[in-house]
Structure 1
């Protein structure tokens, strides 16, 4: 998930898009952008990259087991049919 530094960097990039004539409002915007981004990210049901990788590996192992069992069943059915 994004940490506070990532959120601050994203908020700074958004503030840099504000026209120079509004320079005085830039700090307020930067704070507001950061808060809004942080709140939005907290509401999302996100997982860390590590959690995602663990689940991906678990799914791959499960898929391999299912395929092996499907082959075993097919072999048993073929043997029973003859």
Structure 2
């Protein structure tokens, strides 16, 4: 049994319309979920990865500087002990 061309065209158009509506629905759901997640994350006390990395770099520089200052302090205390012992 052979279907007439107009029926095939109609089925093709309907299938195309359904697929395009499905894509639109997927895009809409994705946008809504993304918006919802962003909204909920903004309510939490979280930072972005960039902010975290920046603060981690600051902390590392601070630790390095603290170690340098501790070394200088130890050296000065040692000099002070040596000069007091003499």
Q: TM-score, with normalisation over the residues of structure 2?
A: 0.50
Distance 1:77 1:38 in 2: 54
Secondary structure in structure 1 of the residue aligned to 2:75: helix
> RMSD of the TM alignment (CA)?
2.4
**1:39 Cα shift?**
3.9
How far apart are the structure 1 equivalents of 2:70 and 2:62? Answer: 12
Cα distance in 1, alignment partners of residues 76 and 56 from structure 2: 30
Which residue of structure 1 lines up, in the alignment, with residue 26 of structure 2?
Answer: none
Q: Number of paired residues? A: 53
Moved over 3 A (4+): 34-39
How far the C-alpha of 1:58 sits from its partner, in A, is 0.7
- Rg comparison, structure with higher value: 2
Cα deviations by residue, 1:3-49 (Å, 9 ceiling, x for unpaired): xxxxxxxxxxxxxxxxxxxxxxxxxxx79xx3764443221022111
User: Where does the alignment leave 5 or more consecutive residues of structure 2 unmatched?
Assistant: 1-28
The unaligned stretches of length 5 or more in structure 1 are: 1-29
More relative contact order, 1 or 2 (CA 8 Å, 6+ apart): 1
Q: What CA distance in whole angstroms lies between the structure 2 residues aligned with 1:53 and 1:36? A: 26
TM-score with structure 1 setting the length: 0.52
